[in-house]
Structure 1
Amino acid sequence: MIIELLTPQSYHEWDDYIANTNKASLYHLSCWKEVIERSFRHNTYYLMARNVNKKINGVLPLVRLKSRLFGDYMVSIPFFNYGGPCGDDAEIEKELINTAINTGKADGVGHIEFRDVQHRENNLQCKTEKVCLILDLPETPDELWGSFSSKLKSQIKRPLKEEGMTVEFGGIDKLNNFYGVFSKNMRDLGTPVYGKNFFENIFKSYPEHTKICTIKLKEVPVASGFLIGFKKRLEIPWASSLKEYNKLSPNMLLYWSVLKFAIENGYKQFDFGRSSIESGTYRFKEQWGAKPIQLYWYYWLSNGGKLPKLNPHNPKYQTAINIWKRLPLSVTKIIGPRIVKNLP
């Protein structure tokens, strides 16, 4: 077995391997390498293993993030929920991890994070605070509707009673609808926002299975979600609503609309994304019938120290978060992308 770096000549071969294994996630596809490089200018290390017949039998995508503010480290892969090694067997995956660690040592990074969905017997430290919530979809929207509680049905019907409330699906031509809602919501949460070019690059690299759903009130976008499909699963990695319209529950109509869309377009599962167990977002997703899938985030630490805490729950970031909430939206759209590019 040899392990080498992915080159443009092998993109098609890499993606064929991903398409024909049930271990891979959407984010193992080679297109995310270009999305990340173009959007954030990060160095990427896409490792692929080959057997004696020179056929790919394992992959591991890896991205290096380096900044004065947050340090120098690698993630497989940042900005999304899934990554880590994907190979024909555990031994191949172990060798891919070891190669990633050797690469990290050679480059002098502080740590490497592997975003995995399976438990592994290794010497790496592991975080298990997060889960992803997955809903198995029935054959028809009516079947799904019938599984909901009376309370949930009532919440979905509420925005439908509002005059001028509409649902709109589209592609890159609807990106402004999504980004307007998303950027304002991120500012209100105290979180730096991705630049719009990140989402443009996703559409350019993965256009056929990327959609936007927007809820409008009298032509004003009030809630919107970014949808990406892979095989038989539809995912909503980003969704937002404007807090001033929360009393009308546009978010409930958004999720019901995308679930109907998923069923009507042949998807068998819907991925609500990750949450901390028993958090508010966890309970929101659970009410739709979604079930938790454990996430295992493994860490190699160069100095054997404490696990990194690069997240908004870290107390040392609270002052910055509170200041960010008060900044003009236009300022956050300029500064935010420069900060968030180095947050995984």
Structure 2
Amino acid sequence: MYQVSSLALDDKRNAEWDNFVKSSPDGSFFHLAGWQHVLADLGHQGFYLYATAEQEIVGVLPLARVKSRLFGDALVSTPFCVYGGALGSDEVKRHLEQSAITLAAELAVDYLELRYQHPQHNQLTTRIQHATFQCPLAEDDAAILANVKKKQRAVIRQSLNQQLSYTLDSAIDDFYKTYSESVRNLGTPVFSKSYFQTLQTVFGNKTEILTVRKDGKPVSSVLSFYFKDQVLPYYGGGISQARELKSNDFMYYQLMCHARADKGCNSYDFGRSKLESGAYSYKKHWGMVAVDLPYQYQLINASALPNLSPNNPKYQLFIKLWQKLPLGVSQWLGPKISRYLG
């Protein structure tokens, strides 16, 4: 049978773990061992389980515990990430899932959550609240634009006439100011600047920032991840003026073109969105097909599945109040809350 072990932060098998992720069909950027360092910096204990057969890694399951008085106590694969769950053969995945359930019971958490991309054949409870959007990248800029739905294509063409410019680099300050204003306007607590710096340090050239400017002023910015010939625009947004300028549309289109021409990517992952939300509709306008995300749960001490959605009525007053905060206050207070919104 399989031997299950836990990967230490500076484990000598980190590279072997990552090589297994890269070779697994469902292995994602969010399965990489480096996330354990990112989560540790946020104060969350990682339990990066891997299964071996004859000393060779045959399966992995990244997990971390996120515990707070406000949002409960959960063992998640993987916090702050859209994808997770076990990798390996079906038999190995079931073995790792059982190890995770045992661990969750030992830790006495409220529940176990596995963020699978695809349906699994097991006894866990599946709940679908989000969808992911992906598309292939065509061979050149014109073909990429042609693949966008007509209405959104017209918006992109408008953005190209706005005399916008953009840069590609690792500069964090303009990105952070733009992104933090964007999420404040949505009523969402922002991460600390150091969180994004940690992502850059841990993942290096797998990260990149694209910032759009109007007359030299940053108006939209996105931090993207690169993995397996795919680009994932993960943390992005714009200031209030971005809607009028169509600078977010400009940003995502330029990222597609850059990823194809300069990075050799053949796929674009637009990330997850809550079903039937504004972001969900926006991504559909690009012509991408929504694919449901079958996240799975095992209740441990909780009596019901959690509802941490911003659509939950009990969070509406908080969101409205947060939207009114001065930007500096939201940047100071946000990280104290967002670290638990895994």
Shorter-normalised TM-score: what interval?
A: over 0.9
Could you say what secondary structure the match of 1:311 adopts? Answer: coil
Match of 1:331?
329
Tell me which moved more, 217-226 or 145-154.
145-154
Match of 2:222?
225
1:253 aligns with 2:253: no
1:60 aligns with 2:61: yes
- Output one character per residue of 1:219-252: Cα deviation in whole Å (capped at 9) or x when no partner: 1100111110001111011110112341121111
Q: How does 1:251-330 map to 2 (within 5 A)?
A: 251-264=248-261, 265-303=263-301, 305-330=303-328
For 2:301 and 2:153, locate their aligned partners in 1 and report how far apart those are by CA, in whole Å: 52
Give the drift of 1:77.
Answer: 0.4
For 1:68 and 1:152, locate their aligned partners in 2 and report how far apart those are by CA, in whole Å: 42
Asked whether the 8 Å contact 2:108–2:301 carries over to 1, the reply is no
For 2:326 and 2:212, locate their aligned partners in 1 and report how far apart those are by CA, in whole Å: 24
Match of 1:241 among 235, 238, 241: 238
Match of 2:33 among 30, 55, 60: 30
- Output one character per residue of 1:283-340: Cα deviation in whole Å (capped at 9) or x when no partner: 2212223222221111111146221011211111111111111111111111111111
For 2:192 and 2:6, locate their aligned partners in 1 and report how far apart those are by CA, in whole Å: 28
Q: How does 1:1-344 map to 2 (within 5 A)?
A: 1-7=2-8, 8-38=11-41, 40-51=42-53, 53-87=54-88, 89-163=89-163, 165-171=164-170, 174-264=171-261, 265-303=263-301, 305-344=303-342
For 1:150 and 1:116, locate their aligned partners in 2 and report how far apart those are by CA, in whole Å: 32
CA spacing shift, 1:242–1:92, aligned 2, 3 Å: same
Could you say what secondary structure the match of 2:12 adopts? Answer: helix
Unaligned runs of 5+ in 1: none
Unaligned runs of 5+ in 2: none
Tell me which moved more, 15-24 or 101-110.
15-24
Give the drift of 1:187.
Answer: 1.0
For 1:147 and 1:320, locate their aligned partners in 2 and report how far apart those are by CA, in whole Å: 39
Tell me which moved more, 177-186 or 13-22.
13-22
- Output one character per residue of 1:188-224: Cα deviation in whole Å (capped at 9) or x when no partner: 1111101111110111011112111111011110011
- Output one character per residue of 1:132-163: Cα deviation in whole Å (capped at 9) or x when no partner: 00011122222122233443333112233234
Quick one: which amino acid aligns to residue 43 of structure 2?
R
Quick one: which amino acid aligns to residue 85 of structure 1?
A
For 2:129 and 2:68, locate their aligned partners in 1 and report how far apart those are by CA, in whole Å: 26
Quick one: which amino acid aligns to residue 281 of structure 1?
A
- Output one character per residue of 1:71-90: Cα deviation in whole Å (capped at 9) or x when no partner: 21111001110001011x11
Could you say what secondary structure the match of 1:295 adopts? Answer: strand
Could you say what secondary structure the match of 2:62 adopts? Answer: strand
CA spacing shift, 1:176–1:90, aligned 2, 3 Å: same
Quick one: which amino acid aligns to residue 72 of structure 2?
G
For 1:262 and 1:237, locate their aligned partners in 2 and report how far apart those are by CA, in whole Å: 14
Q: Percent identity?
A: 32
Could you say what secondary structure the match of 1:208 adopts? Answer: helix
Quick one: which amino acid aligns to residue 46 of structure 1?
Y
For 1:181 and 1:288, locate their aligned partners in 2 and report how far apart those are by CA, in whole Å: 23
Could you say what secondary structure the match of 1:275 adopts? Answer: strand
For 1:325 and 1:304, locate their aligned partners in 2 and report how far apart those are by CA, in whole Å: 31
Quick one: which amino acid aligns to residue 294 of structure 1?
D
Q: Aligned residue pairs: how many?
A: 338
Asked whether the 8 Å contact 1:80–1:237 carries over to 2, the reply is no
For 1:313 and 1:258, locate their aligned partners in 2 and report how far apart those are by CA, in whole Å: 30
Q: TM-score, normalised by structure 2?
A: 0.95
Cα RMSD, aligned residues only: 1.4
Could you say what secondary structure the match of 2:133 adopts? Answer: strand
Quick one: which amino acid aligns to residue 112 of structure 1?
L
